Every structure is written in structure tokens, then in C-alpha cells.
Amino acid sequence: MNKPQNPISPDHNCQLCPRLAVFRDQNRTKFPDKFNAPVPSFGSLDAELLVVGLAPGLKGANFSGRPFTGDFAGELLYGTLLKYGFAKGEFKAHPDDGLELINCRITNAVRCVPPENKPIGSEINTCATFLKNQIAVMPNLKLIVSLGLVSHNTVLKTHNEKLSAFKFVHKEEHKLNNGLTLIDSYHCSKYNTSTKRLTEPMFHEVFELAKEKL
Ligand code: URA
């Protein structure tokens, strides 16, 4: 009999999303020495802050096994967390760099790398169960920072909130029904930073606000 999955973290060989499982197998063949599995969250469950990204990048978090590690987006994210005291050490884009998160945990709305970096609706909904369960076992959680619209909508769904009642606006705060605060941020992706939709100061402001709230 198969062992049931850990409720907050999909199995290494999770089969819940067929398309993602096929893509994982292909990547295991192509890149046999890389992580190629659902990427676990990083940081303590006791944290007051949860940062929710979209999904691992193929050659970033999917290769390294730590969220945003090896991805372009991680440079800005970890640099910002270090600046605002949510991390200590040095970020060297490698899971063995010794970087520690302080009062902060990082996860992804979808734990497996999706083809073309785009998870489909059913994958987002399936993986949201792990996010929901994770939020439920974070006893000190006060604040969620959602990176991008998919993360924002997924966090709302895990709270059974009406999406139309909470418009995604950069740096906007939303009060959720269980007392948690959600702050939106444009995703710190290469695309958003190179088009200047998101600048470094704009991203810093989000975490400055988070720091004020805690
Ligand atoms: N890497 C991640 O782990 N998550 C993202 O959302 C982007 C890159």
C-alpha cells in the first residue's frame, strides 16, 4: 500500500499532477545529477512571515532543491530578505551556502517545475492543498507576502475568500478572514525587473512594510 503524502509537502515522486510528473521524468533523464522533485519550503514553521512564490524555475530551484535558489528571482528576493533582517549569512545561490531565514519561511504555490514556467489551473488547485495545510500548521503566522497574481489568488483560495473582493495591487495589504494579513508584490522575476514593472526600491518597500507589521 502507498504511504499517504505528507500533508504539507508533496512526495519526491508525487503523481498528483500528471503533466508535471511526466515533465519531472524527462528532466531526470536530461539532468540526472539535479534535484528534479517537488521543492520543499525553506525556513521554520514557527515564522511569522510566509513568502509565497509561483513555482520552481527549471534550472534554478528545480536544480538546487531550495526555493528561489539558482533562479534569477532569488538574487533580489534573498538580497532583500538579508537587508530587512529576514535572513542572515550569505546568499550564494546554493542550498549549502549556510543562509538562514529569520522569522520567515518561503514556499511556492506550485512545488514542481512546470513546462514553460506556466502551471495550469488544475495543478495550481491541486498543489494549493499543501499550501493550505502548511498555513494551518504555522502557529505564529501573521503575514503572507504573495509574489505575483497566481500566488495572490492561491492564497485567497486557501482561505475560501472571494477573488473579486481582493484585487491584486502591488504593496496593497489585505485582511483575511482568519486575521492574517496578505501583502501583494509583483513577482521578482527577470521579466518584471527587466521591464521595470518591478524595481528594486519597489520590492524593498514591500519588505519594509512587512517588517513594520511584525
Ligand atoms: N523560483 C522559485 O522557487 N519560485 C518562483 O516563484 C520563481 C523562482
Where are the chain's structural domains?
A: 18-213
What confidence score (pLDDT) does residue 1 get? 52
Ligand 1 atom showing the smallest separation from residue 66 Cα: 3
63, pLDDT greater than 80 = yes
CB 113, CB 125: distance < 8 Å: no
- The Å distance, Cα 43 to ligand 1 centre, comes to 15
* Mean pLDDT over each residue of the chain, to the nearest integer: 97
What confidence score (pLDDT) does residue 2 get? 60
What confidence score (pLDDT) does residue 50 get? 98
Cα–Cα distances in angstroms (integers) from residue 117 to residues 55, 82, 103, 124, 170, in the given order: 7, 26, 29, 12, 22
Percent composition of the chain: helix, strand, coil (DSSP 3-state, to 5): 35, 15, 50
What confidence score (pLDDT) does residue 83 get? 98
Distance CA 207, CA 182 (A): 12
- The Å distance, Cα 2 to ligand 1 centre, comes to 29
CB 183, CB 143: distance < 8 Å: yes
Ligand 1 atom showing the smallest separation from residue 109 Cα: 6
What confidence score (pLDDT) does residue 90 get? 95
The per-residue pLDDT for range 14-27, each reduced to its tens digit, is 999 999 999 999 99
Which residues surround ligand 1 with Cβ inside 6 Å? 53-57, 60-61, 67-68, 71, 73, 108, 147
Rounded to two decimals, the pTM is 0.97
CATH fit for domain 18-213, picks 3.40.640.10, 3.40.50.20, 1.10.10.10, 3.40.470.10: 3.40.470.10
111, pLDDT greater than 90 = yes
